Amino acid sequence: MDLNELAEHVTDSAEFVIPFFQIHLPKVYGFQVTRFMVLELIVAAAMMAIFIPYARRVAKGDPPRGRFWNMLDALLIFLRDEVTRPAIGRKDADRFLPFVWTIFFFVLLCNLIGIIPWAGSPTGSLMTTASLACTTFCVVLGAGIAKFGPLQYWLSIVPRMDVGGVLGMPLKAMIFFIEIAGLFIRHLVLAVRLLANMFAGHLVLAVIVGFIGWTAQTTIFLWMGVTVSSVLCASALTLLEIFVALLQAYIFAFLSALFIGMAVHPH
């Protein structure tokens, strides 16, 4: 097993590779459907299957029953009270709460679906994480422009300074362009951070499991020792990956809320 074969476990493709056969994905109007696209649709369908009944239950005023619904209710309240409202402010937070909830659970489920054998994690692709970051970027701009107006929003990103005269104008212009660059860099880092964590985790798992194949042509004792060690290490790392999946979804949602808060509450 070489590096190219390992990379297949963490990169997108036009097929699902399952032992003994392959599922080739079709083109739709000349557009190639990929494995990560299918997984993202599965994640979206799972979210609809969970949250539509949950929303109906909340609308009726019924309390959550069962461990799963109580856990979901506690997680949603935590995201509201400990993430969204502190980052955006109680006055504006509830308007953006559905977005924060959606981005958190979409990222979380995209992370967790990669643990399923032969599936893959969509958040291990830059196209997915960049799309999520662009969505946050559009919400941030929309929030700022909706509150202050197009011109006033861009002027508000420059902090107030008691500097005037000859020095004031070039200094404010320089800070304006620095703030513009920082706005784009923040969202670029938002995409790269999620990509790097998920890509690295799954690649390490693929390497550890690949040791079994690399030692298959050696002595039986070496192969058995490596197999047992690889399975135990992969199991432990899978548990760590579950924690990382939850952590990265929380970080993405928290930073998204923080950036929205910075837009509606400028310097």
Domain boundaries, the chain: 3-264
Contact of 231 with 208, CB cutoff 8 Å: no
The tokens for 228 are 């047992």
φ and ψ at 65, to 5 degrees? -130, 130
Which amino acid does the sequence have at 107?
Answer: V
Q: What is the DSSP track for 61-74?
A: TPPP-SHHHHHHHH
> To 10 degrees, the CA torsion angle through 18, 23, 24, 27?
-130
Count of beta carbons in the 10 Å neighbourhood of residue 133:
25
Q: How far apart, in Å, are the Cα atoms of 137 and each of 14, 47, 215?
A: 29, 23, 47
Percentage of the chain with pLDDT > 90?
33
66 vs 227, which has greater pLDDT? Answer: 66
Please give the model's pTM, rounded to 2 decimal places: 0.86
Residue 195 has a pLDDT of 86
Confidence of residue 172 (pLDDT cuts 50, 70, 90): confident
Which amino acid does the sequence have at 43?
Answer: V
Q: What is the pLDDT of residues 10-55, one digit of tens each?
A: 677 777 777 777 788 888 888 888 888 889 999 999 999 999 999 8
The arithmetic mean of pLDDT across residues 110-125, rounded, is 83
Confidence of residue 83 (pLDDT cuts 50, 70, 90): very high
Residue 234 has a pLDDT of 73
Orientation angle between helical segments 220-264 and 126-148, nearest 10 degrees: 10
Residue 165 pLDDT > 60, yes or no? Answer: yes
